[in-house]
Structure 1
Amino acid sequence: MNQTLKSYLWISIGSLLVAIGISFFLIPANLATGGITGLAMIINALFPQISIGNALIVLNILLFIIGFLTIGKAFGGKTIYASFLLTGIIYIFDTFFPLASPLVTDLIVNLIVGVLISGIGLGVVFNQNASTGGTDIIAKVLNKFFNIEIGKSLLIADFVVVSLAAFSFGIELAIYAFLGIFFNGLIIDSVIEGFNLKISVSINSVKSEEIQTYIVNHLDRGATIYTARGAYSKSNREIVNSVMNKKEFVKLKNHVKTIDPNAFIMVSSVREVLGEGFYSH
């Protein structure tokens, strides 16, 4: 599958998950956990004749106009696609599958399930170097004109939305929303870390040459070779070190077991890898 098409497919899946979490758990429970969706919920509460879907469409258009005017062409097609896809899905859910009351009566359950599903979806979207727009645009504007860090700017934007929610839905729901913002951040970071997790492997084997050849020719990965001296044997031996994904490591491990059952293998997880063959900033 074409890499670009695959990326947009993942963005679509992520946007759908975000919409499900918001539409079926957070919105019916009046849990405005920040973001442009929370702002749309507040507008809907103040002006019931304006649906959440319509409010999202108008807010997204306004924010993108502000973004283009103040920041310029800093918004990629993926962000525009994700933003309006999410808005469209929520509009469809809001129009054709409206919920008069939450699926479950327990606010904590609605908060946990809603934030979990939408947080996973946002993590998937962010992992494709995209965002769902909304308060991300506000954060970038604050960053440009007031030199406030992006993370803090996003927190400020969400804090303002949740504070407004306190006046619309009451202080209790606002407190739940604050918790939602916190847990949402943790979930997003965990999802992104899971996608980007790599394996660092060091192999001490008498079949060093064969292992190097397998890594380079069959896994299409690089390797670094060290010469180490054993404390017990007092002999020198080559250590093969390489970084790869989990599927590649399973293949390598099975190969090494086949050619040298006595090979000494050390494995560790790597949260992020930058450079040739991996992501670059």
Structure 2
Amino acid sequence: MKRLLKEYSLITIGVILVAIALELFFFPNHIACGGVSGLALVINNILGIEPGIVMIVFNVILFAVAFIFIGGSFGIKSIYAAFGLSIILSAIEKCTTPIAITDNLILATIFGSALLAMGTAIMYTQDATTGGTSITAKILNKYCNIDFGKSLVISDSVVILLAMYTFGVELGLFGLLSVYLTGNLIDKFIDGFNLSKQVMVFTKKEELVVNYITKDVDRGCTVFYGKGGYTKEQNCVILTILSRTQFIQLKQFMKEHDPEAFITVNETTEVLGQGFKNILE
């Protein structure tokens, strides 16, 4: 229950960040950032229908299509995120009058894309998406043998072309820039969230270090044995994967108890298995 509460809390934070990006940066400046949200902005301008309501309708249709053509892989979390975003946007439109934080289109595109990417990345780490064009991209990927990334670009490009027709070429190009920035920033944020430290400790105090890692830091480790190329002395090498906070703990411990140890550290963007992300996910 505690884990479930944490997951849905993070998804909610992600949804709120996406909603802020759309309502305070993209929608007031008529920048279509791709996806269902961009399509909702176009339809809002043509027909005057609230973007939140448009997104609810399109997400219902797209999720129905996903279950028919893809299967039930879009779980409860994605449905919660998709409809949660639509409801929040609709509530903002009804209860307030959102205004752009900045009228500068370059600033709006950059900061809106950053917030959008951050929110999307947070949801992605909890195995949730807001649906939209990722569904059409999966369908193209499955039935047309087009790479998922290329399929997503195709889906978003259709929205951008509609935006160009509705708002003009200049605003459409800002939407295209947003699609590019958001895609790249999402990858960067995801890598940052998943960042861990791969640590190798060369030490003569094997038992002391292993006990600290397994009992105090509460991480597993693997022990190798070797011989120094120069000293010809037998040595112990301890390999472990730690979070940044745990590495600081280990570094302080080694400084106090084994200052002669030799430590190498590498950053790793993804760790699968016991104690980390499930390898089956």
Matching residue's letter, 1:24: L
**Matched residue, 1:45:** 45
Matching residue's letter, 1:25: F
Q: Offset of 1:191 from its aligned partner? A: 1.0
CA distance in 1, matches of 2:249, 2:243: 10
**Matched residue, 1:259:** 257
Q: Offset of 1:250 from its aligned partner? A: 1.6
CA distance in 2, matches of 1:94, 1:115: 21
* CA shift digits 1:176-212 (9 cap, x unpaired): 1111111101111111111100101111122121111
1:162-177, aligned counterparts within 5 Å?
162-177=160-175
2:152 is the alignment partner of 1:154 = yes
**Matched residue, 2:266:** 268
Q: Offset of 1:14 from its aligned partner? A: 0.5
CA distance in 2, matches of 1:14, 1:139: 21
Residues 202 and 241, structure 1, Cα contact 8 Å, conserved in 2? yes
Residues 15 and 125, structure 1, Cα contact 8 Å, conserved in 2? yes
CA distance in 2, matches of 1:112, 1:245: 30
Matching residue's letter, 1:79: S
CA distance in 2, matches of 1:84, 1:146: 28
* CA shift digits 1:211-247 (9 cap, x unpaired): 1112122233221222232233221111111111112
**Matched residue, 1:31:** 31
- TM-score, structure 1 length as denominator? 0.95
**Matched residue, 1:249:** 247
- TM-score, structure 2 length as denominator? 0.95
Structure 1 stretches lacking a partner, 5+ long: none
CA distance in 1, matches of 2:130, 2:153: 16
Q: Offset of 1:144 from its aligned partner? A: 2.2
CA distance in 2, matches of 1:252, 1:102: 47
**Matched residue, 2:131:** 133
Q: Offset of 1:257 from its aligned partner? A: 1.7
1:186-265, aligned counterparts within 5 Å?
186-265=184-263
Matching residue's letter, 1:2: K
Name the SS of the counterpart of 1:277 in structure 2.
coil
Residues 207 and 259, structure 1, Cα contact 8 Å, conserved in 2? no
**Matched residue, 1:56:** 55
* CA shift digits 1:83-113 (9 cap, x unpaired): 01111111112222223x5332210011111
**Matched residue, 2:276:** 278
CA distance in 2, matches of 1:237, 1:102: 62
Matched residue count: 279
Q: Which structure 1 residue ranges, 4+ long, deviate > 4 Å from structure 2?
A: none
Percent identical pairs in the alignment equals 39
CA distance in 2, matches of 1:245, 1:102: 38
* CA shift digits 1:128-183 (9 cap, x unpaired): 11101111111122222222222221111111101111000100111111111111
Q: Offset of 1:46 from its aligned partner? A: 1.1
Structure 2 stretches lacking a partner, 5+ long: none
Q: Offset of 1:28 from its aligned partner? A: 0.5
CA distance in 1, matches of 2:55, 2:26: 15
CA distance in 2, matches of 1:117, 1:97: 20
CA distance in 2, matches of 1:104, 1:144: 40
**Matched residue, 1:96:** 95
**Matched residue, 1:7:** 7
**Matched residue, 1:181:** 179
Residues 223 and 241, structure 1, Cα contact 8 Å, conserved in 2? yes
The worse-fitting range, judged by mean Cα deviation, of 5-14 and 134-143 is: 134-143
CA distance in 2, matches of 1:113, 1:278: 31
